[in-house]
Structure 1
Amino acid sequence: MRTGTAPDAPAPRAARWLAAVPSFLRPLVRPRPRPRHRRPVPVRPSRPDQLRALLAVLDEAVAAQGPADEAVAACGEPGPVPRGTARDCGLQSIGLHRLRARLQDLGTTDPDLLAAQARAARLLAYDLWMLRASMNLAFADRPVARTEAARLGLNGLGRPADDLRRLRDTLRAELPEG
């Protein structure tokens, strides 16, 4: 059994090469030491856990749609729009924006749930756009007949709000009992 090299054996190739490098360059050419241990691989949550997390955010989003729907409808009321409506739209917009950010930060890895998550994010983006557009119509600096007609046509969030509810209900039906 061989435990080392003989004293008269030539130096290993890497050592000979390193000896040929000038001393001021040696810090630049030395290999990095290997880490002594590997970092543990993070455990991904199971599909039911991911589904529960997604449903929790969707439940809050569906609950937040009621007040947002009322705020959009208030922008479409005939006559002058009260200033409190702008505050209500702003608060609802902040709430929906936070929910959309939470939705995007879920860390979902299941492909089917990723598709549902992306669809829900698009539907919430529509709700945010609708709130902003209704405020722009309701509080225009110089309302003209065309924008006033569009403002009076506002009556809520519309079909995308229903689509978000249906998406949430479809995902809830996939949740295993227990």
Structure 2
Amino acid sequence: MPRRPPPGTVPWHRALRTLARLHHHPAPARPSRPAQLHGLLTVLDEAVSAQTPADAAVAACGEPGPVSRQTARSCGQQSITLHRLRARLQDLHLTEPDLVAVQAHAARLLAFDLWMLRESLNLAFTLHPTPRTEAARLRLNGLGRHADDLRRLRDGLRAETA
């Protein structure tokens, strides 16, 4: 009676055929530096453009008086946009060390923008406002220095292509 392999294992001849098939397919070539730079700049350009409405949404949370539902929707929409851009940024397959460093720095800056949007919403729509939280809300005036840092990061990278 022929011996059967234990459950969950692959017979050696099937494993050998699979390895032979894999051997005949070379690994995909990594993208060139200009292609990696172009992909990174494309996402960074979109991220810098998306910061204008996100900045306005954060500033609207800091306006005196009651905050509108439209402001809440705007913050939510901008959060979605920035989250998608951050995911696209992190999905780039970069191999150049300096571009990987730029990618990581830009992802941290976008994470801060997302945090600012969330915290602005929390301050603007708190269930139990206190004088302290209201004072913090009224100091909101946009994304701040991190938005400028992302723009400078993108501009420095763009200068490399010129």
Q: Name the TM-score, length of structure 1 as normaliser.
A: 0.82
2:148 aligned residue: 162
Shift of 1:31: 2.9
The 1-side partners of 2:12 and 2:154 are apart by 54
Where structure 1 has 5 or more consecutive residues not aligned to the other structure, the ranges are 1-22
- Confirm or deny that 1:49 pairs with 2:35: yes
Q: Which has the higher helix share?
A: 2
Mapping for residues 38-117 of structure 1, pairs under 5 Å: 38-117=24-103
Matched, 1:31 2:9: no
1:14 is matched with none
Q: Following TM superposition, by how much is the alpha carbon of 1:143 offset from its aligned partner in structure 2, in angstroms?
A: 0.4
- Larger Rg belongs to: 1
Matched AA of 2:28 = P
Gaps of 5+ in 2: none
Aligned length: 154
Distance 2:11 2:55 in 1: 65
1:172 alignment partner AA:
R
Task: List structure 1 runs of 4+ shifted beyond 3 angstroms.
Answer: 26-30
Provide the C-alpha distance between the structure 2 equivalents of 1:31 and 1:128, rounded to a whole number of angstroms: 51
Residues 139-166 of structure 1: per-residue CA shift (max 9 Å, x gap): 0011001100100010000000000000
Aligned equivalents of 1:95, 1:49: Cα separation in 2 = 24
2: CA distance, partners of 1:51 / 1:88? 31
Root mean square deviation of aligned Cα: 1.6
